[in-house]
Amino acid sequence: MTDSSPAMADLLMTELFMKEAMTAVGVGAFQHTPVLAEDVIAYLACRSGGRYVDGTVGGGGHASAILEASAPDGILLGIDRDPQALRSAARRLTPYGERITLVRGNYAQMDELARSVGWTYADGIVLDLGVSSPQLDIPGRGFSYQHEAPLDMRMDPTIKQTAADLVNQASAAELIRILREYGEERWASRISRFIVEARRREPIVTTMQLVDIIKAAVPASSRREGGHPARRTFQALRIAVNDELRSLEKGLAAAWRLLTPGGRLVVISFHSLEDRIVKQFFQQKAAGCICPPDLPVCTCGRHPELRLLTRRAVIPLEMEIQANPRARSAKLRAALKVMSAEGEE
């Protein structure tokens, strides 16, 4: 490969992951239960011969369902930032042979990554956002406030800044902004003050150190309501470390460029910040004329670029939530890229 673009620099092809998957230790621990899998297949309208992209392939749950639904000739490109996830996906998807291609990279560069493996379009794209269950469950990753571990939180281990770096180096004002903006944390100012005071005494390097600081900062009355007191802070730090919201904005745009007319985009989000970005993106693409209503003739020339397939977000049934409690906050939105500039299907 002679291409020196960032996407190509991070590219690891299927053969490498397939080989590593057969010998990797602990890969089996990365098990992925796909959320809203039946809805994903229905809204993608999977068919034999179709080309599909799973921009957040994880352990391969949705990818496997898509390959089954598009048999015998559908093909899939799986993308993930996490090499451990890709090794697990390779192991799970080995039976599909040449129908699956796996690439390491950020879905924000989806169109570049697709071109690097010879794809010029996709018939359907799915994005399953947020942190996966295996990332939460493996203590050493540092995502969970339930396990003692290094305060890491990187989805891509090549990223330089960890959560510990952020907690120990960011100013109090920056910590407040992160906790408020990404965690919608009511006690952002107080938690930030306690963090700054604690790190003066010693560096904050483990998850439980941070949990103890948060518990001390949040008043007892608030600790008894709204779930674990560290939940919002950990979410905020994870989003900041992995630049998740900006990646989502870029990823939606990249997916739209890659989709062929008539193609479908399905996005599953897990908190209001993600869902708001997806909803606004779809609304903007679905908008037609934006001329003032009193103008007799349209001068903007704008036509809808998509048709909404979900007027409201689709949420899991109670049966799925009972089987997979982490599905509780999932919201699915789907859209179809229209066939022409005039907005005709």
Tell me which of 131 and 137 has the higher pLDDT: 131
Asked whether residue 162 falls in the same domain as residue 278, the answer is no
Report the CATH number at residue 276: 3.40.50.150
Going by pLDDT thresholds of 50, 70 and 90, the confidence category of residue 27 is very low
Residue 104 included in any domain? yes
- β-strand pairing of 122-128 with 100-104: unpaired
pLDDT of residue 153: 94
Pick from 269, 267, 259: which is nearest to 306 by CA? 259
pLDDT of residue 12: 41
Going by pLDDT thresholds of 50, 70 and 90, the confidence category of residue 1 is very low
Residue 344 included in any domain? no
- CA dist list (Å): 124 to 33, 143, 195, 235, 271: 20, 30, 44, 29, 23
What is the percent of the chain with per-residue pLDDT over 90, rounded to a whole number? 74
Q: What is the pLDDT of residues 267-299, one digit of tens each?
A: 999 999 999 999 999 999 999 877 888 888 887
What pTM did the predictor assign?
0.86
Asked whether residue 188 falls in the same domain as residue 288, the answer is no
Asked whether residue 258 falls in the same domain as residue 113, the answer is yes
Asked whether residue 259 falls in the same domain as residue 278, the answer is yes
pLDDT of residue 22: 35
pLDDT of residue 30: 53
Is the pLDDT confidence value at 25 over 80? no
pLDDT of residue 262: 97
| Coil, helix or strand at residue 100 | strand
Decide which of 242, 273, 294 is a domain's last residue: 242
Decide which of 215, 242, 269 is a domain's last residue: 242
Asked whether residue 127 falls in the same domain as residue 30, the answer is yes
Pick from 53, 108, 46: which is nearest to 78 by CA? 53
Going by pLDDT thresholds of 50, 70 and 90, the confidence category of residue 5 is very low
Asked whether residue 44 falls in the same domain as residue 151, the answer is no
Going by pLDDT thresholds of 50, 70 and 90, the confidence category of residue 222 is confident
Is the pLDDT confidence value at 29 over 60? no
Is the pLDDT confidence value at 11 over 70? no
Residue carrying the six token digits 């295996």: 134
Asked whether residue 333 falls in the same domain as residue 285, the answer is yes
Measured CA to CA, the distance from residue 69 to residue 41 in angstroms comes to 7
- Total domain count for the chain? 2
Residue 61 included in any domain? yes
Is the pLDDT confidence value at 302 over 50? yes
Asked whether residue 183 falls in the same domain as residue 296, the answer is no
Q: What is the pLDDT of residues 36-91, one digit of tens each?
A: 999 999 999 999 999 999 999 999 999 999 999 999 999 999 999 999 899 999 99
| Coil, helix or strand at residue 326 | helix
Tell me which of 27 and 271 has the higher pLDDT: 271
Containing domain of residue 309, as a range?
6-134+244-337
